[in-house]
């Protein structure tokens, strides 16, 4: 395969995830739409963002908030039309913003025409596009694979007596990526949207496409206990046969070659945590970028956060999209401060910790992403427990501790009714946000979190060595402290609870950015940094 050249527009870029149904509603139905997103792009540009990623906007029966796609070449009516999508892309391009859509290739909706034909006629070509298998000798599922959302990863098609595979809910049947018809169909889907100006895709569950041909049982590695939720059960197995197969990369290379024709990019959503295996997902014969999701799962564990970031950055310093927040996890301001009642002090601590980690990510190359509202320091939304939407909670006997609704509430634009998101109740039953968490209030206060994030992005753009110069990991005074040098830039992330002095980089540095108002001093002894504080310094005489 011909080696590719990295897209110039990725260099130094910062991304922003928009949960499409929760960003802005212009029709008054409580459901976010494409025109609303287009109207709010001026704010995104003001923040300093370069790339906007939208969660799925396709028609869907909504068994998993749009990640069960019924038609990949159309737009859900509540979001708008294909013409609205084209207009949004055109508006973004006028602001020098790139737009990524979400593609969901591991599975379709059970409402998709392909699956409907597969169920209706076991001899149809569409049947072979999915993973139908005969029962085990006892009549049960073909193997012990489990769903992310609880229960077996197999559902019986009673009419034929075969089971079909679904790594998520039963209404999300998995496609057979060893079938050439599936490959050809998605080539066509990519071209459809590239022809309409879309600049790339985030690939949902990229590590799940291929299954091992043996369909063998996955090894059980732990006992999650009787009260564990569905995700704990899922991760009690070594997913040796249903996830992260070696030949996934061949599919990625095929897709990226299509994207390259349009100067477009592809970004994997990958749950792979082994750094060397994840690094396979990016490069000349694979994809431009891959998310590393593990920091978005972690609670406040400074040594682990430092190790996970630096160990991977040493292996792959250019192709990772770094995140601590997305639509599948509790918001980091809450996640990083689990103990105690949630008050202003705890919120301030969570914001400071989030900014400290994100500041480190800005020096690790690749394309870091913020999740909508992260720049406001939003805490988890207050969700009516009787009106939860996430299938992780609604389909299991659990207290909803793994439910993702808390990260999916409407963007708080102002303190008007419904926080300016809509003129009516939103699609998700959540309490309105207080004034200090709104865009309107924070843009009027230069000491607010949104300005700190804006200044962080400005600092990265002003110092291209942060993403262009060679990555160098320097000696650190603690395993809770990261010291990274990239050419003329030094970044120190002190996630510990103590002030530290770094001597490994000398003292010829000038402070360019601090993640909070904590102390930072540069003198002959080195650089002294306060607790839970990250700083960016530039080379030069003090």
Looking at 450, 477, 511, the residue that finishes a domain is 450
The pLDDT value given to residue 341: 57
Work out the burial of residue 466: count CB atoms within 10 Å of its CB; fewer than 13 is exposed, 13-18 middle, 19 or more buried. Answer: buried
Both 287 and 394 in one domain: the answer is yes
Q: Are residues 352 and 477 located together in one domain of the fold? A: no
* Domain assignment of residue 520, yes or no: yes
What span, in angstroms and rounded, lies between the C-alpha atoms of 302 and 286?
Answer: 32
Query: Under 8 Å CB-to-CB from 399, ≥6 apart: which residues?
Result: none
The domain boundary residue, chosen from 398, 433, 450: 450
Instruction: State whether 209 and 98 are in the same domain.
Output: yes
Among 295, 103, 289, 279, smallest CA distance to 205 is for 103
The answer to whether residues 373 and 302 belong to one domain is: yes
Q: What distance lies between CA 100 and its chain's CA centroid?
A: 12
- Give the structural domain span for 357: 8-108+201-362+369-450
Same domain, 350 and 471: no
- Measured CA to CA, the distance from residue 241 to residue 246 in angstroms comes to 11
* Together in a domain, 286 and 422: yes
Stretch (H or E) spanning 451: helix 449-462
Torsion of CA 196, 200, 203, 206, to 10 degrees: 130
Tokens read off for 37: 């997103």
Residue 411 shares a structural domain with residue 497: no
Q: Is residue 141 part of a domain?
A: no
Distance separating alpha carbons of residues 251 and 240, to the nearest angstrom: 19
Q: What is the mean pLDDT of each run of 10 residues along the chain (542 residues)?
A: 71 98 97 98 98 98 95 98 98 98 98 98 98 97 94 96 97 98 98 98 98 97 85 92 96 96 97 96 95 95 98 95 95 86 79 98 97 97 77 59 82 97 93 95 98 98 96 96 97 98 92 96 94 95 47
491 plus 522 within the same structural domain? yes
- Taking the C-alpha atoms of residue 368 and residue 324, their distance in angstroms, rounded to an integer, is 9
> Which of the following is catalytic: 64, 204, 242, 390?
204
Asked whether residue 184 is assigned to any structural domain, the reply reads no
Residues 397 and 481 in one domain: no
Alpha helices, DSSP H, located in 463-542: 465-468
What is the residue whose two structure tokens read 């229960």? 151
Say how many domains are in the chain.
2
Instruction: Report which of 395, 325, 477 is spatially closest to residue 147, judged by C-alpha positions.
Output: 395
**By the 8 A CB rule, do 52 and 15 touch?**
yes
C-alpha Rg value of the chain to the nearest Å: 23
Co-location of 95 and 208 in the same domain: yes
Task: Indicate which CATH number applies to the domain containing 223.
Answer: 3.20.20.80
CB 405 within 8 A of CB 390: yes
- What Cα–Cα distance (Å) separates residue 152 from each residue in 93, 108, 148, 324, 532? 44, 18, 9, 30, 42
Catalytic residue flag (residue 195): no
Could you tell me if residue 276 is inside a domain?
yes
The whole-angstrom separation of Cα 427 and Cα 421 is 11
Does the residue 161 lie in any domain? no
Two structure tokens written together for 534: 């990250």
d(CA 182, CA 128): 9
Active-site choice (102, 269, 375, 480): 269
Whether 195 is in a domain gets the answer no
Last residue of a domain, one of 415, 450, 485: 450
Domain presence at residue 136? no
- What CATH number corresponds to the domain at position 488? 2.60.40.1180
Rounded to the nearest 10°, the torsion over CA 412, 414, 415, 416 is -100
269 tagged catalytic:
yes
Query: Nearest 5°: phi and psi at 199?
Result: -95, 0
Shared domain for 485 and 429, answered yes or no, is no
Measured from the Cβ of residue 320, the count of other Cβ atoms closer than 10 Å reads 26
Claim to verify: residue 436 and residue 462 sit in the same structural domain: no
Residue 74 confidence (pLDDT): 98
């Amino acid at each position: 395969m011909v080696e590719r050249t990295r897209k110039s527009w990725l260099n130094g870029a910062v991304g922003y995830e928009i949960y499409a149904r929760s960003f802005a509603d212009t029709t008054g139905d409580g459901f976010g739409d494409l025109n609303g997103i287009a109207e709010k792009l001026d704010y995104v540009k003001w923040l300093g963002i370069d790339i906007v990623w939208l969660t799925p906007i396709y028609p869907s029966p909504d068994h998993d908030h749009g990640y069960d796609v019924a038609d990949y070449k159309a737009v859900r009516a509540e979001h708008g039309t294909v013409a609205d999508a084209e207009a949004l892309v055109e508006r973004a391009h006028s602001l020098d913003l790139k737009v990524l859509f979400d593609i969901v290739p591991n599975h379709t909706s059970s409402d998709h025409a392909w699956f409907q034909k597969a169920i209706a006629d076991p001899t149809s070509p569409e049947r072979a596009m999915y993973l139908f298998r005969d029962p085990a000798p006892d009549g049960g599922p073909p193997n012990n694979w489990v769903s992310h959302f609880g229960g077996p990863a197999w559902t019986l098609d009673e009419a034929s007596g075969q089971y079909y595979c679904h790594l998520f809910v039963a209404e999300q049947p998995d496609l057979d990526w060893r079938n050439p018809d599936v490959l050809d169909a998605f080539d066509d889907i990519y071209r459809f949207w590239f022809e309409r100006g879309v600049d790339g895709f985030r690939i949902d569950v990229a590590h799940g496409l291929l299954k091992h041909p043996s369909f063998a049982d996955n090894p059980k590695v732990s006992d999650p206990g009787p009260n564990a939720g569905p995700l704990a059960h899922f991760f009690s197995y070594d997913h040796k046969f249903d996830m992260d197969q070696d030949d996934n990369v061949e599919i990625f290379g095929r897709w990226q070659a299509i994207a390259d024709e349009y100067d477009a990019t592809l970004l994997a959503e990958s749950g792979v945590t082994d750094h060397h295996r994840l690094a396979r997902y990016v490069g000349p014969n694979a994809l431009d970028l891959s998310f590393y999701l593990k920091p978005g799962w972690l609670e406040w564990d400074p040594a682990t956060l430092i190790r996970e970031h630096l160990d991977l950055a040493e292996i792959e310093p250019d192709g990772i999209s770094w995140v601590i927040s997305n639509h599948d996890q509790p918001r980091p301001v809450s996640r990083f401060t689990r103990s105690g009642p949630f008050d202003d002090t705890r919120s301030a601590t969570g914001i400071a910790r989030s900014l400290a980690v994100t500041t480190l990510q800005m020096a690790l190359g690749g394309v870091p992403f913020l999740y909508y509202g992260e720049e406001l320091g939003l805490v988890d939304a207050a969700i009516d427990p009787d009106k939860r939407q996430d299938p992780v909670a609604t389909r299991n006997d659990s207290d909803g501790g793994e439910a993702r609704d808390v990260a999916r509430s409407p963007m708080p634009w102002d303190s008007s009714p419904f926080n300016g998101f809509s003129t009516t109740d939103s699609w998700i039953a959540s309490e309105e946000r207080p004034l200090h968490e709104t865009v309107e209030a924070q843009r009027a206060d230069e000491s607010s979190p949104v300005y700190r994030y804006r200044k962080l992005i400005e600092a990265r753009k002003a110092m291209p060595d942060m993403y262009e110069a060679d990555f160098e990991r320097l000696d650190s005074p603690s395993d809770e402290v990261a010291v990274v040098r990239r050419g003329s830039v030094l970044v120190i992330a002190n996630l510990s609870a103590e002030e530290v002095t770094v001597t490994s980089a000398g003292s010829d540095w000038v402070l360019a950015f601090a993640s909070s108002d904590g102390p930072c001093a540069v003198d002959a002894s080195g650089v002294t940094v306060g607790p839970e504080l990250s700083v960016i310094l530039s080379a030069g005489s003090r």
